Amino acid sequence: PEQGMEMETANTSLNRTEGKLANLPLTIGPLTVYVQIQVVKDSPVDMLLGMPFSTLVQSRYDTFDDGFMVLTCRDPN
């Protein structure tokens, strides 16, 4: 809890996170990365991947008219 932080939502309101889970292994296919997770109460999603994650795995998102999405991740190492 001492590593909680203020986060700005899409509607520009500010909310404090409950705290941080440090160095949590996240495996996507053959790729495992260690991420820092901010925990929030009553989130409408299981996990939200932001720009730090996208930068870490050099990701690319392709979205299609039918709502289908493909996430491509690269191991920069």
Predicted confidence at residue 13, as pLDDT, reads 84
Mean pLDDT, the chain cut into blocks of 10 residues (77 residues total): 80 86 88 87 82 86 94 83
Q: Considering the entire predicted model, what is its pTM?
A: 0.64
What residues contact residue 21 under an 8 Å CB cut-off, 6+ apart? Answer: 36, 37, 39
Cα 67 from chain centroid? 20
Check if the beta carbon of residue 45 is closer than 8 Å to that of residue 10.
Answer: no
The candidate with the shortest Cα–Cα distance to 22, out of 41, 4, 45, is 4
57, exposed or middle or buried, with CB in 10 Å at 0-12, 13-18, 19+?
buried
